[in-house]
Amino acid sequence: MRLHPPAQPSPRSPRATRPGTLGIILAAVLLLVGGLLLVAPERAGAAADTVISTGKPATASSVESSSYPAKYAFDANSATRWASAEGVDPQWLRVDLGATATVSRVKLTWEAAYAKVYRVEVSDDGTTWTRIANETAGNGGTDDWSGLTGRGRYLRVYGTARGTSYGYSLFGVDVFPDLADRCLHRRRGR
């Protein structure tokens, strides 16, 4: 009885591959992705770090002077800031996000004049507010509130007790949407 060796796939068969072809393709893809990250590293975390408050209209309960307007807390410039009138409680800072958004994170960067007690709120109409974060022992620096679930067109930081004898002062207020709103804001160019 004669045994036949198993049939080898023909070179034209879809299952036939040269040794190492898959490895070469994988290496090419990794080189492409790595090259893109080298060319534009600032875009690597872009989807996760979409700030929807930058450049949006802002108002405040007061300003220390015309050198420290509300809009400076939303200009993405770490050298400018909003500052309230000194020695007065409460004070607030508000931004119009331009459209209703579900807020998942708010990052506050305080100047030396910070809030010891404050809350972060959202509103659909700029009148009725819903609290999404509450601080009762603030110490300045950076407060990065994550895991938030508030929804509204407006966001407000409402200070009720100053941490110093001065007023309230913020270098930046960065508002981040949840994943679904992040996609909508990117498509709308916001």
Domain CATH number, residue 153:
2.60.120.260
**Cα torsion through 144, 65, 68, 66, rounded to 10:** 150
Residue owning tokens 């992705």? 33
For residue 53, is it within any domain? Answer: no
For residue 73, is it within any domain? Answer: yes
For residue 181, is it within any domain? Answer: yes
Q: Where are the alpha helices (DSSP H) in 20-161?
A: 21-39
Task: Specify the pLDDT at position 6.
Answer: 57
Task: Specify the pLDDT at position 154.
Answer: 98
For residue 9, is it within any domain? Answer: no
190/186 Cα distance (integer angstroms): 6
For residue 11, is it within any domain? Answer: no
146/104 Cα distance (integer angstroms): 6
For residue 88, is it within any domain? Answer: yes
Task: Specify the pLDDT at position 9.
Answer: 55
As averages over each run of 10 residues, the pLDDT of the chain (190 residues) reads 55 57 66 52 54 98 98 98 98 98 98 98 98 98 97 98 98 93 55
For residue 47, is it within any domain? Answer: no
| Domain residue limits at 167 | 58-188
27/90 Cα distance (integer angstroms): 59
Task: Specify the pLDDT at position 44.
Answer: 45
For residue 4, is it within any domain? Answer: no
pTM of the model: 0.73
29/94 Cα distance (integer angstroms): 45
The number of domains in the chain is: 1
Burial environment of residue 151 by CB neighbours within 10 A (0 to 12, 13 to 18, 19 or more): middle
